[in-house]
Amino acid sequence: MNKKAIFIFVLIIIFGICFYIGFNFRKENKQNNIIKNDMIFNDIENDEQESIETNTKEEKTTPNTILTFKKYYTGCEHTISSKEDISERLVNLTEKEILEEYPSWEIQEFTADEVVFVKEFESFCGEHYYLIEEEGEVNIYEIDENENKILKERTNILCEYLPETDRISLKNGITIYGLEELNKILEDYEA
């Protein structure tokens, strides 16, 4: 055999060996990548599970949280609600921590936007009013738990300027529950 043939034969063998090594290396590299990808995917799944767990933090109050207090009076079966802005010392508290600040109340609803407290009172709400026309003017009476009417205020609102339906209602007397409702009606009469 001549030198040229031997050289070509050696090159073919070297090329075959390199091809074999490269093919096996590539195959092993693919398997390693698959294993690595599985590990990465599993890590991602574990991270997602961890983040789900960390996202279950307790909800807390914010500077924008509104506190709503609902008082239920068993004597007259009325509920009086009032709202107030949260004080600075109550910001960033959990439901349990807020309840510690108001131990005699129950929490009906707790969100970052609003905390609703409820409490039952075994009494009369004290917000029963009676409007009546007397001597041409609207007078306000408070009604106590014994149905007694006590003059609260002479309004100086003249009935002669009110619509006829309102004048008729005031002649007969109007019972109103809640200070908010009373103020609304008086505003309508004064307009």
| Cβ-based neighbour number of residue 185 at 10 Å | 18
Mark which of 78, 94, 121 sits at the end of a domain.
121
Q: Is the pLDDT of residue 187 over 80?
A: yes
In the structure encoding, which two tokens stand for residue 101, read together? 């600040």
Please check whether residue 136 lies inside any domain of the structure: yes
pLDDT of residue 45: 54
Cα–Cα dist 73/143, whole Å: 15
Instruction: For residue 53, name the pLDDT band (cuts at 50, 70, 90).
Output: very low
Q: Is a pLDDT exceeding 50 seen at residue 55?
A: no
**Is 105 inside any structural domain?**
yes
Average pLDDT over residues 5-20: 76
Q: Residue 91 sits in a domain of what CATH number?
A: 3.10.20.420
Higher pLDDT, 172 or 39: 172
83 strand-pairing partners = 68
Q: Mean pLDDT for the chain? A: 84
Does 44 fall in a domain?
no
75 and 97 belong to one structural domain: yes
The per-residue pLDDT for 33 is: 59
Under the banding of pLDDT at 50, 70 and 90, the label for residue 42 is low
Whether residue 109 sits in one domain with residue 134: no
Q: Let me know whether 76 and 116 are in one domain.
A: yes
Q: What is the spatial order of strands in the sheet that 149-158 belongs to?
A: 149-158, 137-143, 128-134, 174-177
User: Which residue in the block uniquely carries the two structure tokens 């008086």?
Assistant: 186
What residue spans of the chain are helical by DSSP H?
3-54, 95-101, 164-172, 179-190
Q: Give pTM, 2 decimals.
A: 0.57
Higher-pLDDT residue of 76, 15: 76
% residues pLDDT > 90 (the chain): 55
Task: Give a yes or no: residue 80 inside a domain.
Answer: yes
| Residues 133 and 186 both lie in one domain | yes
Q: Is residue 156 part of a domain?
A: yes
Predicted pLDDT of residue 52: 41
Distance separating alpha carbons of residues 183 and 140, to the nearest angstrom: 11
- Residue 120: pLDDT over 90: yes
Residue with tokens 């100086």, as numbered in its chain: 156
- What's the domain range around 90? 66-121
Q: Which residue, of 77, 92, 121, is where some domain finishes?
A: 121
The reply to whether 117 and 76 lie within a common domain is yes
- Final residue before a domain boundary, out of 96, 121, 146: 121
Position 40 pLDDT exceeds 70: no
Residue 160 and residue 115 share a domain: no
Q: What is the pLDDT of residues 121-144, one digit of tens each?
A: 998 888 999 999 999 999 999 998
Q: Quick check: 74 and 123 in contact, CB under 8 A?
A: yes
Supply the pLDDT for residue 30.
62
> How many alpha carbons lie under 13 Å from residue 109 in its C-beta half-sphere?
12
- Per-residue confidence (pLDDT) for residue 2, from 0 to 100: 77
132 plus 178 within the same structural domain: yes
Same domain? For 115 and 137 the reply is no
Q: Looking at the domain assignment, is residue 166 inside a domain?
A: yes
Residues 6 or more apart whose CB falls under 8 angstroms from that of 179 comprise: 127, 129
- Do residues 134 and 179 both lie within one domain? yes
Burial category of 95 from C-beta neighbours within 10 Å (exposed 0-12, middle 13-18, buried 19 and up): middle
Query: What total number of domains does the chain contain?
Result: 3
